[in-house]
Structures are given as structure tokens and as C-alpha cells.
Chains A and B, each alone.
Chain A
Amino acid sequence: MGLFSRKKSTNGEVIAVSPSCHLDDVVPIGEIVARRRVRVVGEVVRMKTRPAQGVASLAVRIEDETGAATVVFTGRRSIGGVSLGRLLLVEGVAMNRGDTPEFTNPEYTLLPREATKA
């Protein structure tokens, strides 16, 4: 199931609905253009703490069907609500870090977990 669809049970009843209107203008992660403001939605698949001279940053890897991006939150080791499997809506400007776009302290929204996962 994609991230923006409705899932229907066998008798046609809608049993899971992804968030709608505030997901306007969301682009697939694979289509992120560096240095342009974008909105993407991805699932948190990995979280790493990056130490830097005594202060840590949290580097979160989010993925969708088209690619992966890194979201870095500076000066902290964890963020309430951001955990593996969580859907994150991220809005900000990414830079190219090798092959992976990287956001630094973007705006983020925690999306509800889907009722069912494919």
C-alpha cells in the first residue's frame, strides 16, 4: 500500500485512510531537488547518534518507495515520538550528502501509524 491511498477490505469497506489535505505538495523522496524547499513523507528506518565534539546529533533515515533521505536534528540524541517505523512528514531544504539528501533541523510532523501495513 502506498502512503496516500485508502485500503479497502474484501467487502469494499474502507479500513485505513492515510492523512489527506495536509499532504498536498508532497513529493516522492527519490525526486527531492537539493536546495529547494520540499515536503516529503517517509518511514523512519534507522536512527543514529552522531557525536561531534561532545555534543550529539540525531540522524534519522527515512524511506519511501522511491528512495531514502537523512534528517539530522542537531544538539540532541532523541526526539519524542520519532521512533522506528514512524511516519514522518518533513518540510525543509535538503543538501546532497553523497547520494542521499540530508535535511538539517527541518519542520517535521509525526503522522499516525497506518492501521495496517502491507
Chain B
Amino acid sequence: MKVLIAGAGSVGRHMAEQLALSGHDVRIVDVEPSVVGDKADGGPIDGVTWFLGDACEVGFLNKIGIETIDVVAAVTGDDEDNLVISLLSKQEFAVPRVVARVNNPKNEWMFNEMWGVDMSVSTPHLLTALVEEAVNVGSMVRLLSLEGGKTHLVEVTLAPDSPALKKEVGGLGLPREAAVVALVRAGHVIVPRNDTVVQGGDEVLVLVSLGSEAEATDAAIRAALVG
């Protein structure tokens, strides 16, 4: 797979390294001469081609061969640049998959198909979720969003007063758009069946597709698991 990474900071560089190790053809771009090429910290990476230039410019993207690129990852430290790079990739070059980094969570609302973004990742958001997940017993934490924000993986650690205790998975009363995909109990992953009984302390992982009734679905899941 041919991947173009825009932004050669630590995120971009590490992505390039890992993708190249997996055998992909990686191109990485940055405007900063000091990070590109032989002068970069740690030297150039095997299997990765470096370019110095502005990924927000159509002419430059053409020059580096974007028309055969399968995936563009816009991972600069600047949200505006990431949006422009995403839109140009989709609109001018019909890149099949565009992934973008969200630096400031306040901008997350823009990172969707309006700006050519197929998948966005907000590191602060992810980290917050993981922190909450570690400390929150009894409330619902959103771990991950998939499919451009239409599907979410949420997690509830069942508190002692949860209405779900001692009920079977099939009888939890979850809305139709939610599916219990796993239980984590004492470090073991349990693939639930309809008659699996949940216990206090279980981490319940639910996959939810949010349609037009997102708030109602959300409330229903909380009502069933949190109380």
C-alpha cells in the first residue's frame, strides 16, 4: 500500500517507521528542512522516501506522485493544515482513504467528510477517555469512534449498585443499536452469550451505532448499566 504522511514530527516519523516495517511504500513530507532527509534526528528510515515541501499545495502533491497514493495521513501539528491537506487529497486527487490528526479537540467537529476526512484521531480525546476509563467505576466512557463517528465503542465498569448486576446479557434491556461485544472480568476477556450473567466489577464493552436517536440510545444504555 502506498501511504503519504504529511507532517514529520514525532507522530509522522513513528507512523512512517512502523508502516515501512510492515512493508508499505511510505512517503513523508514536511516543510521544515531540519526534519527532512539526512539531517533528521535518527537519520532517514529504511523504506521511507522524504520530501521537503508544502502538502497544502496541489502542485507539490502532484509532484510527489499523489495520484497513486492509497492513503493520506494528515498528521501535522496544525489543524488547519490537516484539514486543507485532507480536502485536497479527496477533492483534487480522489485518494481512497484520508486519515487526519486533530490537535485541538475543539476542532474535532470539522474533521469529517465535509473536509475530506474519513477517519480522525484526537490524541487528547483518546487519552482523556483512557484516563476516565481507568478511574471511572460506574459511569460510561467512550473509548473509540469508528466509521467516521457513526459507531462508538463504550465501556462501563459495573458498580455495586448497577441495575445490571446478576442479569443475563440478553436481558439487560439495551437498545437495539447497542451490542455487548465483550466482558472483561479479572483480566479475562469473556465473549458474552445471551445467557452470560454479568457481575459487579465487570467491564462491559458495548458497540453502539448512533443514528438519529443518539441521545436516547445513550440514555438507554446508561439506564441499563449505570442506573
Asked if A34 and B113 sit within 8 Å, CB to CB, the answer is no
Size bracket, chain B contacts: 10 to 19
Asked if A93 and B92 sit within 8 Å, CB to CB, the answer is yes
A33 to chain B, nearest CB (A): 11
Q: Which of B92-120 contact A (CB under 8 A)?
A: 92-96, 109, 112-116
Asked if A34 and B94 sit within 8 Å, CB to CB, the answer is yes
Residue of B nearest to A101 (CB): B94
Asked if B113 and A52 sit within 8 Å, CB to CB, the answer is yes
Asked if B94 and A94 sit within 8 Å, CB to CB, the answer is yes
- Known A35-B67, A53-B109, A53-B149: A93·B114 in contact at CB below 8 Å: no
Pick the residue among B67, B91, B95, B112 that contacts A53 (CB under 8 A): B112
Asked if B114 and A57 sit within 8 Å, CB to CB, the answer is yes
B183 to chain A, nearest CB (A): 32
User: What is the interface size of chain A, counting residues whose CB is below 8 A from a CB of the partner?
Assistant: 16
Query: Is B90 interfacial (CB 8 A cutoff)?
Result: yes
In the bound complex, CA of A52 to CA of B90 (Å): 16
Measured between beta carbons, the chain A residues less than 8 angstroms from B92 are 92-93
In the bound complex, CA of A110 to CA of B96 (Å): 28
B120 to chain A, nearest CB (A): 11
- Known A35-B93, A35-B94: A104·B116 in contact at CB below 8 Å: yes
In the bound complex, CA of A53 to CA of B92 (Å): 23
Asked if B114 and A95 sit within 8 Å, CB to CB, the answer is no
Asked if B90 and A104 sit within 8 Å, CB to CB, the answer is yes
In the bound complex, CA of A35 to CA of B62 (Å): 12
In the bound complex, CA of A54 to CA of B108 (Å): 13
Query: Is A105 interfacial (CB 8 A cutoff)?
Result: yes
Interface string of A59-75 (1 = CB under 8 A from B): 00000000000000011
Residue of A nearest to B115 (CB): A74
Measured between beta carbons, the chain A residues less than 8 angstroms from B149 are 53
Asked if B113 and A93 sit within 8 Å, CB to CB, the answer is no
Measured between beta carbons, the chain B residues less than 8 angstroms from A92 are 91-92
Pick the residue among B93, B94, B114 that contacts A75 (CB under 8 A): B114
Query: Contact residues of A with B, CB < 8 Å?
Result: 34-36, 52-55, 57, 74-75, 92-95, 104-105
